Amino acid sequence: MSFASSVSRFDSIRRLNSLQPGDRGTIVRVTTDDLARADRLAALGVTPGASVRLLQRFPGFVFECDQTELAVEPAVARTILVELR
Amino acid sequence: MALVGNPNVGKSVIFGRLTGRYALVSNYPGTTVALTQGRALVGNEVCDVIDTPGVNAVEGVLSEDEQITRAIITSDRADVVVQVADARNIRRALMLTWQVARCGKPMVLVLNMTDEARSRGIDVDARRLHSELGVPVVETVATEGRGLTELRRALGRARVVSVPADTDAASWGHSYAERVRRAKPRASPRVQEAIGRAVRHPLTGLPILAVVLYLLYLFVGVFGAQTLVGLVEKGVFGRFVNPAATSLATRFIPIAFVRDLLVGEYGVITMGLTYAIGIVLPVVTTFFLMFGWLEDSGYIPRLAIFCDRIFRMMGLNGKAVLPMVLGLGCDTMATMTTRILGSRKERLIAILLLALGIPCSAQLATILGILGGISFAALLTLFAVVVAQMFLVGFLAARVLPGDRSDFIMELPPIRLPLMRNLLRKTLMRVRWYLGEAVPLFLIGTLLLFLLDRTGLLRVLVAAAQPVVTGLLGLPAATAQVFVMGFLRRDYGAAGLYQMAHAGALTSVQAVVALTVMTLFVPCVANFLMIVKEQGVRVGLTMLAFITVVALSTGVALNHVLRFFGISF
């Protein structure tokens, strides 16, 4: 039982760039291999706990983070891990 | 007292409400970051208010804006710091609060746009926030002037916020936001959202872009460059200023050299000032108005989404769209605004591309005037060649130049109707910049032209350019002079070509070749001097040489290709 629920939790964590427009979730982690980038995202409110909704994939990723609308390139969207709701 | 806050939270509106209309805009010493200062009446006391640029952080790796904001709130110019927060984005605001609090100044927190927050189903418990933080928390709707009296009263109760040392901005801000925010977000289909979606989606966004560009052309190219220029140049300068200056000079200045320097054919007043104020000022003012409107409405940041992919291939990112669009008004100013770009490499590439391919409003007017009269195919050829050349140069520069580009991360401000007051203030600031920074460069350019003419060097330069112009570019000999003068004073080049085209001295192929070379060439001496100011003499001269070679060789290739295939438009 606990095994099953942990698997489903694991399944529902996705990178932002693999979401479809309309998908909602909560940020669980922002990868920090590039610290300056993570800092910039954090300053804009992209930190664990923030709720996100993907609005558009092409020509660039546009998403809503809490009440802020942000546009990022795919490489940046990859670093944002989201638990789907 | 200093106002701080994230971008687009309504800081400027609160500033305007507090200080009334008397505000002084000035640059922070040694930078281009604009600070607005004013005075507010608080109780019976007059209090100096500084409006700082919108920031997301005052600790860590900081941008120029952020460094200056930090410098102000840590200096003794600010006894009290008023942080303005967008009530909809309280979590983000509190992260900034954490950092501002560590500067140790007494604070007041303003929750602005509470009406919009409520209509979106977000309720922030101001009383709870007040008791948890220990500072006054004031709810406002600044655009309507609500809450300003309470804010004035709260200033005297400002307190230092103490933040535990073992926290960080993100977790502190998050935990407080969770405690005071009650959100049941409603995704109501609102007009703003619909517009926001339409402008960023490719299918609807591209037609909208075409309409916007056409309106820009109507307002700047027709109203500014024709109607207003006619009034100011021919009316004010042609009828009053220049005749008055000339008659004064003839009466009071006995030395012919000095007289010519001021009011002669290449005189600083009759040519330099007439050009800078009579022709360029109306064009840049109308452009700044329209640009400011597009910027404040939230349109221009969304344009960056479209450009990001293409710009990335050229070593830039979508953010570079701002200086590029501004370049359509004035390349000299756009060169300065490349400072907003993240890395040195990006700034260098953007400056190069601006000088190479982006036609300024004066050039655009000439191109449209001459080629529009020939054929659409001629116009298309010119733009295709220029865009291809820009792309090629950008692509190569991205690979050759050392360094990295920065990530494309851009906040899209909400779509809203710009406030006239803010728009006018912004335009006024830019026009003032133009008068202070660009006009002297135009005068220097005129002085240079005057000296070249007097020393006979102008004739030598023209003679040297002639073989290239007639032989390789296949243009009439007179074009050489137009090119040389066009660099020193843009509209002389333009007007010269215009006259030649109308007198039938240029075939359609020659017109396309001549205008392509002119567009690719460094726009004007003011632009060149700005490059030197931003990047140094060595970079400036290298760019000038490189661009000259590119412009001429492109012209030569275009000339031969057109002739070889017998294309005549």
Going by their DSSP bridges, the two strands A68-72 and A61-65 should be labelled as antiparallel
Which strands form B23-27's sheet, in the order they lie side by side? B23-27, B34-42, B45-51, B2-5, B81-86, B107-112, B137-139
> Is there a contact between B408 and A60 (Cβ–Cβ < 8 Å)?
yes
Q: Are B91 and A43 an interchain contact pair (Cβ–Cβ within 8 Å)? A: no
- What pLDDT score was predicted for residue B23? 63
State pLDDT tens for residues B27-66: 555 555 678 888 888 888 888 999 898 888 898 878 788 8
B416 touches A at CB < 8 Å? no
Type of residue found at B339:
R
- What pLDDT score was predicted for residue B436? 83
> Is there a contact between B325 and B291 (Cβ–Cβ < 8 Å)?
yes
pLDDT higher than threshold 60 for residue A8? no
Q: Indicate if B17 and B133 belong to the same structural domain.
A: yes
Report the CATH number that the domain containing residue A17 is assigned in CATH. 2.30.30.90
Range scoring the smallest mean pLDDT among B78-92, B107-121, B426-440: B426-440
| Nearest-CA distance B313 → chain A (Å) | 13
State pLDDT tens for residues B278-314: 877 888 899 889 988 998 888 988 999 989 999 999 9
DSSP B146: B
Q: Indicate if B115 and B204 belong to the same structural domain.
A: no
Q: Indicate if B261 and B408 belong to the same structural domain.
A: yes
Range scoring the smallest mean pLDDT among B329-343, B443-457, B489-503, B544-558: B489-503
Boundaries of domain holding B434: 191-569
B62 touches A at CB < 8 Å? no
B412 touches A at CB < 8 Å? yes
pLDDT higher than threshold 60 for residue A1? no
- What pLDDT score was predicted for residue B137? 95
Q: Are B309 and A55 an interchain contact pair (Cβ–Cβ within 8 Å)? A: no
- What pLDDT score was predicted for residue A5? 46
Q: Which residues of A touch B (CB under 8 A)?
A: 34, 36-37, 39-45, 47-51, 55-56, 58-60, 62, 66-73, 75-76
pLDDT higher than threshold 90 for residue A53? yes
Per-chain mean pLDDT for chain B? 87
3-state helix, strand, coil in chain B (%, to 5): 70, 10, 25
The domain tally of chain B equals 2
Longest dimension (CA), chain B: 82
Q: Are B305 and A43 an interchain contact pair (Cβ–Cβ within 8 Å)? A: no
**Which residue of chain A has the CA closest to B307?**
A59
Bridge partners (DSSP) listed for residue B41: B46
Q: Could you give the count of Cα atoms lying within 13 Å of B167 in the half-sphere of its Cβ?
A: 18
| Nearest-CA distance B412 → chain A (Å) | 5
Range scoring the smallest mean pLDDT among B47-51, B176-180, B186-190, B479-483: B186-190
| Nearest-CA distance A44 → chain B (Å) | 7
Please tell me which of B108-122, B185-199, B521-535, B552-566 the model is most confident about, judged by mean pLDDT.
Answer: B552-566
- What pLDDT score was predicted for residue B536? 93
- What pLDDT score was predicted for residue B208? 95
Q: Where does the pLDDT of residue B408 fall: very low under 50, low under 70, confident under 90, or very high at 90 and above?
A: very high
- What pLDDT score was predicted for residue B310? 92
Nearest-angstrom CA–CA distance, B199 and B210: 11
Q: Indicate if B32 and B130 belong to the same structural domain.
A: yes
Q: Choose the closest CB to B60 out of A39, A48, A50.
A: A39
What mean pLDDT is predicted for residues A67-72?
90
What mean pLDDT is predicted for residues B140-144?
87
Q: Apex CA B559: angle with CA B557 and CA B561, to 5°?
A: 65
pLDDT higher than threshold 80 for residue B130? yes
Nearest-angstrom CA–CA distance, B398 and B312: 9
User: Which pair of structure tokens corresponds to residue B109?
Assistant: 């927190």
Q: Where does the pLDDT of residue A2 fall: very low under 50, low under 70, confident under 90, or very high at 90 and above?
A: very low
What mean pLDDT is predicted for residues B513-538?
90
Q: Where does the pLDDT of residue A21 fall: very low under 50, low under 70, confident under 90, or very high at 90 and above?
A: very high
What mean pLDDT is predicted for residues B321-327?
89
Type of residue found at A22:
G
In percent, how much of chain B has pLDDT > 70?
Answer: 96
Q: Are A71 and B312 an interchain contact pair (Cβ–Cβ within 8 Å)? A: no
Q: Indicate if B48 and B15 belong to the same structural domain.
A: yes
- What pLDDT score was predicted for residue B21? 61
- Short-list B121, B126, B125, CA closest to B109: B126
Nearby residues of B287 by Cβ (< 8 Å), 6 or more positions away: B216, B220, B224, B328, B329, B330, B361
- Short-list B189, B385, B380, B215, CA closest to B297: B215
Please tell me which of A26-35, B219-228, B387-396, B500-509 the model is most confident about, judged by mean pLDDT.
Answer: B387-396
Q: Where does the pLDDT of residue B489 fall: very low under 50, low under 70, confident under 90, or very high at 90 and above?
A: low
Q: Choose the closest CB to A47 out of B174, B178, B201.
A: B174
| Nearest-CA distance B407 → chain A (Å) | 7
B196 touches A at CB < 8 Å? yes
The domain tally of chain A equals 1
Nearby residues of B246 by Cβ (< 8 Å), 6 or more positions away: B263, B270
Query: What are the chain A neighbours of B197 within 8 Å (beta carbons)?
Result: 55
What part of B 118-147 touches A (C-beta under 8 Å)? 120, 122
B200 touches A at CB < 8 Å? yes
CA distances from B338 to B21, B215, B264, B352, B381 (A): 31, 25, 37, 11, 28
Number of C-beta neighbours around residue B352 at 10 A? 25
Q: Indicate if B538 and B559 belong to the same structural domain.
A: yes
- What pLDDT score was predicted for residue B395? 96
**Which residue of chain A has the CA closest to B406?**
A37
- What pLDDT score was predicted for residue B32? 54
Q: Among B149, B183, B217, where does a domain finish?
A: B183
What mean pLDDT is predicted for residues B338-358?
92
Range scoring the smallest mean pLDDT among B14-23, B261-270, B380-389, B444-453: B14-23
pLDDT higher than threshold 70 for residue B242? yes
B174 touches A at CB < 8 Å? yes
pLDDT higher than threshold 80 for residue B418? yes
Q: Which of A66, A78, A80, A85 to mutate to test the interface with B (most CBs of B within 10 A)?
A: A66
- What pLDDT score was predicted for residue A10? 61
Q: Choose the closest CB to B92 out of A34, A68, A76.
A: A68
Boundaries of domain holding A46: 2-84
B203 touches A at CB < 8 Å? no
Q: Among B135, B151, B183, where does a domain finish?
A: B183
Report the CATH number that the domain containing residue B9 is assigned in CATH. 3.40.50.300
- Short-list B191, B115, B124, B121, CA closest to B146: B115
Q: Are A71 and B91 an interchain contact pair (Cβ–Cβ within 8 Å)? A: no
pLDDT higher than threshold 80 for residue A9? no
